[in-house]
Copies of this chain bind each other. A is one copy, B any other.
Amino acid sequence: MKLTEAKAQFISSWGAFGTHWGINRTMAQIHALLLISPDPITQDDIMEQLSISRGNVNMNTRDLIGWGLVDRVLIPGERKEFFTAEKDIWKVATQIIKERKKRELDPMLKLLTQLEQIEGDKKDKDVKQFVDTIAGIRKFGGQADKVLDVMIKADESWFLGSLLKFFK
């Protein structure tokens, strides 16, 4: 297989993969393209390589920057903006985990804590099942939260960092 074909296949698969994770296809494709581009590239490069409109590129690169996965790069003497992606997959994963935790897990845990405190007779089986379910999810989520914190902080801690390097 040649590079051109392999690139196309990677970008396409990464895009499809993204849709299973609540990420839109184009955003994932742009990310894929940036991941395999050795040097920073422009909006026009992305437009051309993925055959998508300027507006689309603009919105999705901004989103990717919001996720902390892509950076704007200014190249001296160049008028246009360039974009580049973090290439270390461990850092990419950590960043995604950090963001999703903040955007999804933390608010969900907050809600569950509220829902657990409903009024009602705990001998009533509907009440009991509700409280048990909510408590179970909250407890599980709380543990997941802690495990993810360890992963995120691994990068900042010498000891954990060394330990987890074995997995890199």
Whether B111 and A9, one on each chain, are in contact in the complex, defined by CB atoms closer than 8 angstroms, is yes
Could you say which residues of chain B place their CB within 8 Å of the CB of A120? 2-3
A67 at the interface (CB under 8 A from B): no
Chain B residue with minimal CB distance to A142? Answer: B167
CB distance from A95 to the nearest CB of B (A): 13
Whether B37 and A129, one on each chain, are in contact in the complex, defined by CB atoms closer than 8 angstroms, is yes
Whether B143 and A3, one on each chain, are in contact in the complex, defined by CB atoms closer than 8 angstroms, is no
Of A17-25, A47-55, A57-65, which stretch is located at the interface?
A17-25
Chain A interface, DSSP helix/strand/loop, else mixed: helix
Chain A count of residues within 8 A CB distance of the other chain = 51
Could you say which residues of chain B place their CB within 8 Å of the CB of A108? 13, 17
CB distance from A112 to the nearest CB of B (A): 8
Could you say which residues of chain B place their CB within 8 Å of the CB of A167? 143, 147
A75 at the interface (CB under 8 A from B): no
Could you say which residues of chain B place their CB within 8 Å of the CB of A1? 114-115, 117-119
Could you say which residues of chain B place their CB within 8 Å of the CB of A104? 17, 20
Could you say which residues of chain B place their CB within 8 Å of the CB of A88? 136
Whole-angstrom CA separation of A35 from B134 in the bound complex: 9
Whether A89 and B136, one on each chain, are in contact in the complex, defined by CB atoms closer than 8 angstroms, is yes
7 contacts between A and B (CB under 8 A): A1-B117, A3-B130, A13-B108, A19-B22, A39-B125, A89-B137, A140-B168
